[in-house]
Amino acid sequence: MPSKFKCEFRSWENIYTLSRIVARKIRESNWEPDAIIGITRGGWVPARNLCDFLGVKDLFGVKIEHWGVTATPDGEAKLKWPLNVDLSGKKVLVVDDIIDTGESMLIAIEHIKTLNPKEIRTAALFYIKGSKFIPDYFAEEIEWKWIIFPWNVTEDLINLISNFLKEREIVEISEVIDGLKDWYDIELTEQQLKEVLEEMRIRKIIKVDGNKITKL
């Protein structure tokens, strides 16, 4: 994980709004999917939203692994859990939360082609400028930053805090709050931070003694 980079929180309400924007663009293109496939884990919520907005009953998931620790690619993208379903004659929409390198979507498409769909189109909430893959539908085009999705807040914050603590044995809570702001442009209240630290304590990542944090 790089030491410092910009992060941005997105709320459940914002994700719902972006999903609706994608759905509207699909409607305006006069194309109707018969089935929607979410690239899990990130594409699952947007895919379910699009099922609701577009009236699609058939929802499937395909597991592609690429990002490991927050903002760190876990080697090459690879298909972990393939889909075992006959899509013959189906118009299929493949959905992810964000298109960054585009590798996850490309691998998903190649796998789905083996299931004999009539047509494949792609959608994402975010498209990062410069990606080698451009989805057919997306809500926002953004410069690279690490989006902290509402379904990934605890996981991301644990990884970011762990990265900040890497070269430090003992710190105070106030130092972590300042570090998150300086390193990642993240502003947390002391109470919000304490909730994450408690989860880190439960997972045996740190020890908390009053306002002092010790890395285990």
Full pLDDT tens readout for the chain, 216 residues: 567 899 999 999 999 999 999 999 999 999 999 999 999 989 999 999 999 999 999 999 999 886 555 555 555 678 888 888 999 999 999 999 999 988 999 999 999 999 999 999 999 999 999 888 999 999 999 999 999 999 999 999 999 999 999 878 889 999 999 999 999 999 999 899 999 999 999 999 999 988 899 988
* pLDDT for 184: 96
pLDDT of residue 2: 61
Distances 9 to 145, 150, 154, 175 between C-alpha atoms, Å: 10, 7, 12, 21
Residue 67: predicted pLDDT? 54
Phi-psi region of 55 (alpha: psi -120 to 50; beta: other; left: phi over 0): left
Residues in CB range of 106: below 8 A, 6 or more apart = 77, 133
CB 116 within 8 A of CB 59: no
| Nearest CA among 29, 195, 188, 22 for reference residue 95 | 22
Phi, psi dihedral angles at 148 (to 5 degrees): -95, 105
User: How far is it, in rounded angstroms, from Cα 56 to Cα 84?
Assistant: 19
Tally of CB atoms within 10 A around 214: 13
Bridging pattern class, strands 170-172 and 212-215? antiparallel
Q: What is the pLDDT of residue 135?
A: 97
The per-residue pLDDT for 1 is 59
Q: In terms of Cα–Cα distance, which of 170, 168, 155 is closest to 210?
A: 170
The pTM of this model reads: 0.90
Q: Which residues, at least 6 apart from 114, have a Cβ–Cβ distance to it below 8 Å?
A: none
Question: Parallel, antiparallel, or unpaired for β 73-81 and 58-67?
Answer: antiparallel
pLDDT value for 101? 86
